Amino acid sequence: MPNIENTIDRIQELIESNAEQQLCDELNSYHSADLADIFQQLKPEERLKCITKVDEEKAADVIEYLPPQLQVEILGDIDEGLASRLISKLPHDEAADVLGDMEEDESQIYLDKLPQKFSSEIRELLTYNEDTAGGIMTPLVLTVFDNMSVKDALDTIRIKAEKENMELYYVYVVDKHNHLVGVVSLRNLLTTPVHLNISDIMSKDLVKIHVDDYQGHIADIFMKYQFNALPVVDLYDHLKGIVTWDDVQDIVEEETTDEIFTSSGIVTDLGDDDDDILTGSLAHSIKARIPWLFITLIGEFIAVTITNKYDKTFTALPVIAAFMPLLAGLGGNIGTQSITLMVRGMSTGQITLNEGWHQIMRETITGLSIGAIFGILVTLVTWGWQHNLELGVIVGIAMSLNMTIATVIGTCTPLVLKKLKIDPAVASGPVIATTIDVVGLALYLTLVTWYLIKL
């Protein structure tokens, strides 16, 4: 892989000095994935100049590697003829994605310009919801009939694979009505005597997905069975396409992003449109962030109300108020650690509900140990700072209890949510942080007030 910063400098120089032939040679010497990286760093007008200098096959490949917004931007900027040639060179599922991301009238122009067969296949793909198997799959599948011999099948594959740019993962077997009846690996085909029948060597034990299956479900199946590709069927078991692992790669990344955002109190399924939180409209991004902040507001007002009951304590010994951020901060942090460990552990399957008790015990001991260490630290520092050992001990004890309770709340809540079949990522972060604030501060203020009265 080239050093991307040097490369970009060199390419920008070539563009400025109008060294057309050199620019052309330089660009065509890179792998398409590298070119896509380079394009993302260039200015729009530089990108435009470069894309026309790359061989069309390679340019289509580059488009495939680019993020959706940039795909639409570049295709919209270049000559319409070139754009439709590039689109026609994309795999079916990519072409459908690109056209789906464009404005309706714009995509219509390209659909009319594309070769008849390709265009009608893309139109069919565009009818599926883009988050389902139908919206993800490619309809080009290598199939053979169940009544063929191995020799016929191999001949068919030679012809089909050459004519259409098909991936050779598995060879699917259909009957004459295009019902999916089996699968053969290429390895099997190549190593079986050629006179045998496909129906004798195919595996009928098929894992398949339905055109309407949602992407999260598809990703789960891929992660579980670890296939390279899975066939997609409709309600009547007609073979409609295949989903391949590289499509799933993108889904897994998306699902992980959703999990991370949800844990931080960002709503990922507003359902209004498909605006991206990072790049979409500002209004969308504000709407995604307000709901959990609002719930936090209510929770923290409860904390404010409780805290306000101790106004006499603050008047008597104002340093008590000064310690509140310390308690809330450390309780929040250790609680967040526990939530994160639990939510991620359940999402990767490392923690199951059965082991819940074990994990609660484990975290409680962890919370107690860390709480004890920090309690002692806080006692010593407070003693040294305020020259008041008793205050130090009370704050230290409050700190220990607070951290232990925060750990237990952070561990139990995701487990309870999971038990109630609610996604543990939802509500975890902000709500638990607020709960820990309320419980921790109430505990601390009760302790210090009791200590003040005792004095």
Smallest gap from Cβ 373 to its own copies, in A, equals: 7
Backbone dihedral region for residue 353 (phi beyond 0: left; psi -120 to 50: alpha; all else: beta): alpha
- 125 or 339: CB nearest its own copies: 339
The least CB distance from residue 240 to its own copies, in Å, is 20
CB nearer its own copies, residue 178 or residue 337: 337
Q: Which of 295, 313, 340 is nearest to 437 (CA)?
A: 295
CB of 259 to its own copies, least distance (A): 8
Q: Could you tell me which residues are beta bridge partners of residue 244?
A: 229
Residue showing tokens 């714009």:
106
| C-beta of 143 vs 228, nearer to its own copies | 228
Tokens of 285: 């991004």
Retrieve residue 341's tokens: 């460990």
Of the two residues 82 and 260, which places its CB atom closer to its own copies in the complex?
Answer: 260
Beta strands in 255-302 (DSSP E): none
CB of 315 to its own copies, least distance (A): 5
Instruction: Tell me whether residue 157 or residue 233 sits nearer to its own copies (CB atom).
Output: 157
Retrieve residue 59's tokens: 């340019």
Six-digit token pair at 395?
């704050």
Query: How far is it, in rounded angstroms, from Cα 238 to Cα 174?
Result: 8
Nearer to its own copies, 114 or 401 (CB): 401
User: C-beta of 381: minimal distance to its own copies in Å?
Assistant: 7
Q: Which is nearer to its own copies, 282 or 455 (CB)?
A: 282
In the bound state with its own copies, the residue whose beta carbon lies nearer, of 147 and 264, is 264
Residue 281 CA: distances (Å) to CA of 75, 285, 288: 22, 6, 11
* Residue 449 C-beta: closest distance to its own copies, Å: 12
Nearest residue to 55 via CA among 81, 18, 93, 29:
29
143-145 and 170-174 strand pairing: parallel
Measuring CA to CA, how many Å separate 438 from each of 61, 76, 403, 427? 55, 54, 13, 16
Please give the sequence-ordered ranges of beta strands (E in DSSP) within 85-165, or none if there are none: 143-145
φ, ψ (nearest 5 deg) of residue 208: -135, 160
CA angle, corner 24, sides to 23 and 30, nearest 5? 95
Distance CA 424, CA 124 (A): 37
State in angstroms the smallest separation of the CB of 11 from its own copies.
15
Closest contact distance (angstroms) between CB of 50 and its own copies is 17
Residue 354 CB, nearest approach to its own copies (Å): 7
| Closer residue to its own copies, CB minimum distance, 108 or 204 | 204
Taken as a whole, the chain contains a residue count of 455
- How far apart are alpha carbons 87 and 103 in whole angstroms? 15
| Shortest distance, position 389 Cβ to its own copies, whole Å | 17
> What are the tokens at 74?
């570049």
Tokens at 80, concatenated: 């319409």
Please say which residue, 122 or 171, places its beta carbon nearer to its own copies: 171
